[in-house]
Amino acid sequence: MALAMERENRISAEERGRRIASPAGQRLVATMRRSVGRRGVAGSTFDRLAPEAGVRRGSIAWYVGTKERLLAEVMRADAEERLTRLHEQLDRAGSVDDIIAAMVRLLDDFLDPELGTYVLAHEMRVVGLRNGAIGAVQGELQARWRAAVVELFELKTGEGIIELRGDPQATAALLTAIGQGIAAEAMSDPGWDRTETVRQAAVAVRHLLGAPSESEAGRLAEVGSEPGR
């Protein structure tokens, strides 16, 4: 998606893409991502980014245009990393329990302070509420995430591992909301023990994916072991 903000700079989206794809442009994207995770958006100024990225302060605009354009690229890069981790964790899952364990690992990644993913996501949501271009990129990337989850649903359904009880898109959105909600609670209260909440979330996920609950599975096992069964 070409951002409207590029028009005022009279730089084509293709040319801007080439500049951002350059080594210096990619250093700026990576540096901004780390900076937002540590300092937030307001504290991530070009004056701070320049020495950390190894570029001249005056050349930043040539590579990335505006700060908003750079933030959009940071969001795209972060989304690519999270999609890669999604597939790494879930593509080979061979059971509902494997899928749930993978989702818990993804939640842990999302909350990892070293990665700074949650802080970045939270900061960009706030910016997106006030900046239409950033908000549009957010919507695009969120839709792409849901689509990737739906594709995984289709894969696991074809493998006979899950049988969704509801609409795939709605289920993907709900699972995403559950993870983001737990993350918000954890970040708001660092001393909170999320263990039981995650366990209850796993019960809900098992139901959404069409698997029997642990208690139901136990009862089925008991019935199956009865004489004559």
Query: What is the model's pLDDT at position 37?
Result: 86
- Predicted pLDDT at 9: 55
pTM of the complete model: 0.83
Q: State the pLDDT at residue 214.
A: 59
Q: DSSP 3-state assignment of 84?
A: helix
DSSP 211: P
CA distance 65 to 54: 17
pLDDT score recorded for residue 47: 95
**Per-residue pLDDT tens for 165-207?**
999 999 999 999 999 999 999 999 999 999 999 999 999 999 9
Picking from 65, 40, 66, the residue whose alpha carbon sits closest to that of residue 119 is: 40
Residue 38 has a pLDDT of 87
User: Could you give the CA distance from residue 85 to residue 104 in angstroms, rounded to a whole number?
Assistant: 12
In this structure, are residues 206 and 100 in contact, taking their beta carbons and an 8 Å threshold? yes
The per-residue pLDDT for 138 is 93
Mean pLDDT by 10 residues, the chain (229 residues): 48 89 95 91 94 95 92 94 95 95 95 86 90 92 96 97 96 96 94 96 96 55 41
The widest CA-to-CA distance across the chain, in whole angstroms, is 81
> Domains (ranges, CATH) in the chain?
4-225 (1.10.357.10)
Residue 58 has a pLDDT of: 92
